A and B are shown apart, each in its own frame.
Chain A
Amino acid sequence: MRISDCMKKNVFSIPATATVRDAVQLFVSHHIGLLPVLNPDNHPVGVVGLLDLLELALPAAIHMLEDVDFIGDFGALETYRPPEEVLAQPITRLMRPGTVVRADSGLVRAYALMLQHKLHDLPVVDAEGRLIGIASRVDIGTLILSGWL
């Protein structure tokens, strides 16, 4: 079995020329976790995750502390909204290099890649490197398990 057997073909992506606000719009309206960023030829040049955007709302101190149990109420941070200039900046500012697999990749290999790179969704490309689908951990994992029945 190949990853092309379980990937979603209806994949949402965002052009490299889009803004952070455009990405927010796509995440909200489609309820997704990862957006591949594409160049005009449909080749992924990186990815932006829901968590990358949520980092904007989190204070950096979160990463400096082992736990934050002592804060019973996140107060002002609960209603924090990034300033306009942050939302208007190009999405490429928040983009990170993405891991992609080719459609003929085996499932266990794809799953191993996701584990290693701590990914929840894996963009799939054709032989020419164009985006053709996306597979989640659940898509891949359940297809592997189905082979055991």
Chain B
Amino acid sequence: MAPLILSSIVFVACLGFIFSEKLNRTIAALAGAALMIGLGKLLGFYSETEAIASIDWNTLGLLMGMMILVAMLEPTGFFQYMAVWASRLSKGSPFRLLVLLGSVTTVLSMFLDNVTTVVLIAPVTILISEVLGLSPAPFLIAEALLSNTGGVATLVGDPPNVLIGSAAGLSFNDFLTHSLPVVAVAWLAALLLLNLMFRKELRGARVNQEAVARLQPEEALNDRRSAVRILIVIGGAIVFFFLHSLLHLTPSFVALSAAAVALLVVRPPLDDVLRRVEWSVLVFFGALFVMVGGLEKAGALESIVSLFEKGATIPPALFGVLLIWAVAILSAVVDNVPITIALIPVIQGLGENGINPEPLWWALAFGAGFGGNGTIIGSSANIVVAVMSEKTRHPISSILWLRRGLPVMIVTCLIASLIFFLAYDLFTG
């Protein structure tokens, strides 16, 4: 009983520190992992070897490969180029600007890390909207919400998807056939809702047309040659993502190979590239795997599995819908990565006990992905744009986020629930 209680306390305390932002999330997770192994050794429920084995290297490899590609693409100015190009294409219509900037951010973050995408596109958005005499707040909020929503569509679009795909053995194509259609409807609904909620800011604005015409996207592209080469490699990686299950390749092999090819072709200063890789995110994931491995060995997850089993007596489609909402609400207030990592072994446990886990994976992906939109702290992209907006004349407050993000979260979760419930058979295998 002691291992179960103590390991649960370590995990919940770690989540508490992450939630309260009293401690950097990676430090909290690393300390929690060390404590979990220490307790495991002391009480005999968890060893170092088991801790290492609990790390999902496929997830870490996929994330690292994609991070290296983004780290190489970042200094070329490609992200800024896309933002300026989208702004110019808007021809000065604030609504078109919102749609185009939101679409560019979404498409990029479907394949590349959405925090990096937002970090690089948001400053351009702020500058362009101020030049056009518009408040940047609607555009920044739309970029974060739409990229969070769009990221749910692909295996590599969102860290929870990477985790779920790896644990459940779901391929890139599985996400395209199961998640993409739901996301497409949810994304469109989110866009319409954002337009409705920001109608005052968008319709009342008088845009400086001359300034739009004089935007020069090509000036933002610092290194065209490298950008083209890296994009070709990323395109190749996406083709291999389509084929990975057919060719029996893991997504991490595809991503790391693509990173190696890009490094070989472009030959950038390696130190610069590695400095841009988000090691703290990789360490955070690794530490969480170790912590959840400890929870599993201590038997803490079994109790949750049996709790879920009781819940699973209700119709499975309804159970999945409830899971979407429970995960979404949790993900709105706590980082969705630890929630996903903790729920993966629970769903695996349910699978071992005879319940079809397939629909539950999708419910988890929808809940974790759409839930992050609800609050300002719900996803890293939200935090990034909010922090950047503080330096502008129109800072985004937590209340403003709640008023704009929560309706988007509710509508997207409703759409996901409805499609999941009505087309439940499509998610069962």
A70 touches B215 (CB 8 A): yes
B214 at the interface (CB under 8 A from A): yes
Cβ–Cβ < 8 Å partners of B218 in chain A: 70
**Interface of chain B, helix or strand or loop or mixed?**
helix
Minimum distance in angstroms from A82 CB to a CB of chain B: 10
What 0/1 pattern do residues 375 to 409 of B give for CB contact below 8 A with A? 00000000000001001100000000000000000
Q: Indicate whether A73 sits within 8 Å of B217 (C-beta atoms), given known contacts A59-B392, A60-B126, A64-B126.
A: no
B128 touches A (CB below 8 Å) = yes
Question: Does A61 count as interface, using CB distance less than 8 angstroms?
Answer: yes
The answer to whether B127 and A72 touch across the interface, beta carbons within 8 angstroms, is: no
Chain A: minimal CB distance from B221 (Å): 9
Assess whether B131 is in contact with A65, with CB atoms less than 8 Å apart: no
Q: Which of A63, A71, A74 has the most CB of B within 10 A?
A: A71
Asked whether A71 and B217 contact (CB < 8 A) given A60-B392, A64-B388, the answer is: no
Interface status of A149 (Cβ within 8 A of chain B): no
Query: A72 and B392 in contact (CB under 8 A), knowing A59-B127, A64-B123?
Result: no
Task: Specify which of B126, B133, B219 is in contact with A75 (CB 8 Å cutoff).
Answer: B133
How does the 8 Å CB contact mask read for A70-108 relative to B, with 1 for contact and 0 for none?
111111110000000000000000000000000000000
Q: Given contacts A70-B220, A77-B131, could you give 13 more A-B pairs where the C-beta distance is less than 8 Å?
A: A59-B392, A60-B391, A61-B391, A61-B392, A62-B127, A64-B126, A65-B124, A69-B220, A70-B215, A71-B215, A73-B208, A73-B210, A74-B211
B71 within 8 A of A: no
Residue picked from B84, B122, B123, B126, most chain A C-beta under 10 Å: B123
| Binary contact track B191-220/A, C-beta < 8 Å → 1, others 0 | 000000000000000001011001111111
B48: Cβ under 8 A from any A Cβ: no
List 7 A-B pairs, Cβ < 8 Å. A61-B123, A61-B391, A64-B122, A70-B124, A74-B211, A76-B131, A76-B133
Known contacts: A59-B392, A60-B391, A60-B392. The answer to whether A73 contacts B127 by CB under 8 A is: no
Contacting pair B131 A74 (CB below 8 A)? yes
Residues of chain B contacted by A68 (CB below 8 angstroms): 127
Residues of chain B lying within 8 A (CB to CB) of residue A77: 130-131
Question: Which B residues are within 8 Å of any A CB, using their own CB?
Answer: 80-81, 84, 122-124, 126-128, 130-133, 208, 210-211, 214-220, 222, 388, 391-392
Docked CA distance A74–B131 (Å): 5
Residues of A near B388 (CB, < 8 A) are 60-61, 64
Residues of B within 8 A of A71 (CB): 127-128, 131, 211, 214-216
**Can you name the residue of chain B whose Cβ is closest to the Cβ of A72?**
B214
Partner among A70, A75, A76 whose Cβ is within 8 Å of the Cβ of B80: A70
Q: Least Cβ distance of B217 to chain A in Å?
A: 6
Determine how close the nearest CB of chain B comes to the CB of A71; give it in whole angstroms: 6
How far, in whole Å, are A61 and B391 apart by their CA atoms in the complex?
8
A69 / chain B contacts, CB cutoff of 8 Å: 216, 219-220
Q: Which residues of A contact B133 (CB under 8 A)?
A: 75-76
Docked Cα-Cα span, A65 to B210, in Å, equals 22
* Alpha-carbon distance A59/B389, docked complex (angstroms): 11
Chain B: minimal CB distance from A51 (Å): 17
Q: How far is the CA of A64 from the CA of B84 in the complex (A)?
A: 15
Q: When chains A and B are docked, how far (Å) is the Cα of A71 from the Cα of B219?
A: 8
Alpha-carbon distance between A85 and B21 when the two chains are bound, in angstroms: 34
Q: Given contacts A76-B133, A76-B208, A76-B211, is CB(A61)–CB(B127) below 8 Å? A: yes
